[in-house]
Amino acid sequence: MRDKDHCFGPHPPHGDTVFARATLPGGFARGRVIAACRRREPDVRETVTREYRTHLHLPVIHLVDPLNPEGSLSRLALIKAVLGPILRLMFRPRVEGAENIPGTGPVILAGNHLTFIDSMILPLVTNRPVYFIGKDEYVTGKGLKGRLMAWFFTGVGMIPVDRDGGRGGVAALMTGRRILDDGRVFGIYPEGTRSPDGRLYRGRTGIARLTLMTGAPVVPFAMIGTDKLQPGGKGVPRPGKVTVRFGEAMEFSRYDGMDRDRYVLRAVTDSVMTEVMLLSGQEYVDMYATKAKAA
């Protein structure tokens, strides 16, 4: 595992503050200051977590043994056995760097999001089950189609969360933390939505909060070519080749206890997005994808 935050300078003595300019590879200068270290405050995260759980009515997550025939992980095995060969024939995925995903313990997979089928391909090319947040509308449909969609998406590890409400972001964050606290793999798209034009957009800091709160390493990944098979994320995807590329694991233990420092959160997020950019070869845009879609 590499410590990807070494680019922000040596670790200062406790209580000091160091500022540095964060520059992305390829000449993308952030022009921001990054607080490398601040005095730590009493840790009240557990109290906050309990408070969120009480008021947000977070979904109950049943992470069951793969041998349990009624569990979602057995459904994942079934989906891989039945649909895996079909999807591999359609998309012919080339997987690079899968050995970078730790075999045990909590892991965050953070990557770009080009189209709808990204979330179908990722669980099928990893050896460990991957849990991720999805729109609750994927599992609330009616009729046979709605039931089949709910069966598939919950089977491949999707946790439905209403992200359109005022507290949707907090619910997604706390759900991710619960998955990681259980030693599982959590997949996340830091951009927060699909790219509107194939470029890589600025990451949301939720990824930084998760790795700092849980200590889970971050494995960056890149989906390459999926947008060519399903432009706009709509319609039936056409056959073609895709590449899923995983980078080396990143850990940010030097920022332990600083998950409420906005400068640190931005620095960690930018470090992850830099790795995703290098893996994907995408052009980077220093604005949120949601703003680009609204423009």
- Tokens at 289, concatenated: 């994808």
First CA to last CA distance, the chain: 40
Mind giving me the DSSP string for 82-133? HHHHHHHHHH--EEE-GGGS-SSS-EEEEE---STTHHHHGGGS-SS-EEEE
CB atoms within 10 A of CB 44: 10
pLDDT in tens, the chain (295 residues): 544 444 433 344 333 333 333 344 444 444 333 333 333 333 333 333 333 333 444 444 444 433 333 445 577 777 778 777 887 888 888 999 999 999 999 999 999 999 888 988 898 899 899 999 877 776 777 888 778 878 777 777 888 776 655 566 788 888 899 999 999 999 999 999 899 999 999 999 999 999 999 999 999 999 999 988 887 666 677 888 999 999 999 999 999 989 999 999 999 999 999 999 999 999 999 999 989 888 7
Please name the residues in contact with 43: beta carbons below 8 A apart, sequence gap of 6 or more: 257
Convert the pLDDT of each residue in 75-88 to its tens digit. Answer: 777 777 877 788 78
- Backbone CA torsion sign across 10, 14, 20, 24: positive
Token look-up 């994320």 returns 233
Convert the pLDDT of each residue in 146-184 to its tens digit. Answer: 788 787 777 778 887 766 555 667 888 888 999 999 999
CA geometry: angle at 10 spanning 4 and 12, to 5°? 125
CA distances for 290 relative to 54, 129, 279, angstroms = 29, 29, 23
* pLDDT score for 215: 96
Contact criterion met (CB below 8 Å) for 280 and 189: no
CATH topology of domain 44-294: Glycerol-3-phosphate (1)-acyltransferase (3.40.1130)
* pLDDT score for 149: 77
